[in-house]
Amino acid sequence: MASDEHDERGFFGERSLPQLKRDTTQEKPHYLGHRERLRERFSVTGGDTLADYELLELLLFRLIPRADTKPAAKALLARFGTLAEVLGAPVNLLQEVKGVGPAVALNLKIVAASARRMARGEISGREVLSSWNQVLDYCRAAMAFEEREHFRILFLDKKNVLIADEVQQTGTVDHTPVYPREVIKRALELSATAIILVHNHPSGDPAPSRADIDMTKTIIDIAKPLGISVHDHIIIGKKGFASMKGLLLI
């Protein structure tokens, strides 16, 4: 009986297990098909049909080549709100979002700078007052998401064509020092006959303050005897803008 048990143990111990056939076919990551479909949608219908997170995904494809970019795109939008706000966000805050490292943050800022350059191209060499929507688009792209106040001046020639665009002062989160005589001095140096004043409110509310109105009127009073017109003072917020001329404040 012991001998039989020994033989039986040997029988089972020596039996070889059937070889499992190894699947050498490697599954492609699920995001590859998604990327192709999204690219195809963009090529067929253009960007206007895509949601913000989808456009952001497309931007991230080359920046994050071997990963699913949808979570990062949605996390960026959850943090900042809109695609424009993502592109306008500072590098240090972009990097606080999971999946966004220094290289990705820098490249998003390159895209933002390119967008601003395109917007500026829409008004360069044109009669500004007849391209007012493009002027507003450019100002929003350039200033809406800055963390500090910037005071910008658009200098125009006698045909109201843009001849220079300069940030004259940069201030704090709620104040920018503006020196009216310096504004007019620069206009004279450029032989400008008209100017448009622009500044941003990082708080997001574009409503002009009493100080904004008084400063603008001071510039107008100095400019008028010298033959320089102040066409408007535009205040840019994250969600909109205010025109002092449109509000009948000047």
pLDDT for 84 equals 87
* Residue closest to 202 by CA, chosen among 236, 249, 159, 168: 236
The label of the residue with tokens 């400019």 reads 223
pLDDT for 239 equals 80
Residue ranges for the chain with pLDDT beneath 50 = 5, 8-14, 17, 24-25
Please say whether the beta carbons of 97 and 86 come within 8 A.
no
pTM exceeding 0.75: no
